[in-house]
Structure 1
Amino acid sequence: MSTQTGDTAPDQVARLLALVPYLLARGEVRLEDAAAHFGTDADQIERDLRLLFMTGVSPGLPGDLIEVDLEALEGDRIIRVDNADYLARPVRFSPAEATSLVVALRTMVDTAPAEAREVIERTLAKLEEAAGQDGEGLLRLHVTPTPLESSAVVPVLESALAHGHQVEITYHVPSRDRESRRVVDPRGLARVEDLLYLDAWCHTAGGDRAFRVDRIVAATELDSPVADPGARARDLTGGWFTDAETTTVTLRLAPQARWVVEYYPVTGRRPGPDGTIDVDLEVASEEWVKSLLLRLAPHAELLAPAAYADAFTTAARTALRMYEDDGVDSE
């Protein structure tokens, strides 16, 4: 069923903003009940959810995106969302954000229609009151980065970096709501917009990882030296897909999967057979590619590199055998 008549893009955005707190307050909701609550149909809510799991906090690294349990959605038609707890926290503006809002609102108030001017003036007054000073003082603020470095684990990480020591960290994984303990070789701390990341080699995972510092529950500097003292820190400031150590992945997308080009930086795009398109992406994690392909199946094919394609095929066959061993019909 298509989007209901009159359901515009602003309508969908407004519904998405209301949908997440609605779901978080209830834990899980039947798809039909959510549709009835928002005055739309189940197909539209399902489309909203498939858009929702591609959103999250900037910069959109793995673990930053809202997660939707697609298995429950497609099987039992139950909606469950995870990794969206930050939406329940009060909004706090940095000086830079508050200043930008004041400037924008003052520009709008002079040109806004009479019916909107009162609302803008009230918003401007509340913002200035919350800032604890008048608008002129707010505009004179010296803008400094959000003090993420106040985290208790940061001095431990900085000390380990200075001494070339390994670190044992306890890391919270929101998508599974559990903590994992692992030993890492720290390479550097990088700020990506308003988040601080530890770039490290993870001995538990056997690969490069970028850990969000606000999710490191505890950190202990060890006496053991890092395995490769000369290893350089990766450049994470440009985002997950732009580091020099990334791998070029080529996907063949059917029309149902073309939304990928709207949500990820595509470095190449070519027409494929039968209405498909072939796209190139720069990725830093093979696991991320597997996760994306499982979301896109059966509307995407991994063309290159061959090693990634073979690994994904093996993983998919293993998952299928698990269903078959449990007596589940995969057709």
Structure 2
Amino acid sequence: MNNLSHRLVRLLNMVPYLQARPGITKKQAAAELGVSLAQLQADLHQLVMCGLPGYGPGDLIDVTFYEDRLDVHESAGVDRPLRLTSPEATAVLMALRALVDMPGIVDPRAARAAIAKIENAAGQAAHPATEPVAEDDPVAGIVRDAVHRHRALALDYYAASRDSSSHRIVDPIRVVLIANHSYLEAWCRESAGVRLFRFDRIDGAEVLDEPSAPPVPARQAETDTSLFDADPSMPVATVRVAPSVAWMFEYYPMRLVGESADGWREAEMTYASDEWLTRLLLGMGDEVQVLAPESLATRVREAAVAALAAYAGADSG
């Protein structure tokens, strides 16, 4: 669909949208419609020039502006939003069902309500639901409630990289979706920093009788997803990681590939330069091994030999 088609669909849906929200502000309307204030203003000017043949009073769409608030006084018959086509309904249903099956990503009750409405409107022709629907995750519900009510949380959290659980008091900031997983972004009081807690690794949660009070800079900063959104143009190394340094998975852009019986893990690691990764791996000693590329493995070995030679020379001197 090109830009003109997108705009036409938006304009046709805008009148019933505004009718359902009398007195909405321009800023709120622009945010909900996903357009800039300038684009919203242009759309509104276009709308008031549209209507029924005759194009006189009562024939044109009439939207009034009062103290930055919008009201529709004449719809010219454009009273209902556009219906989904069958392919569109199928696509939306498939996406909603996928979200329901992923614990914590969305409020499952809202997703199921949307599924029911679309299926009812489509006569279940789009894609009937024959599979059982996953039950609500009570822990996810508690976390979302704390975020909604701005309350502090006590969490029992499992860290996969350390294979251990810990109890933490956190000040929730928001819920974010990263790489098909929901995370609670919160200020961790123990670590004195912002941390991301994956929903399916929260073993228990309790809403505390105190407000969530993360520092203002933490609240205003954008979510740091740098560990999840590696630049595809950057090089990737395959490494083996000892159990003793499994914490690296939480601090470096690493993707787990496999795990052996002795606890060693194979991972793909994105890095900026050979120099940087060589220095990092030298500091890890024999607890991290480079499997590929061979050029990087050779570089690390040569750097280690040179460092040992330098120490030997210093000792003999």
TM, length-normalised to structure 1: 0.33
| Higher Rg | 2
TM, length-normalised to structure 2: 0.34
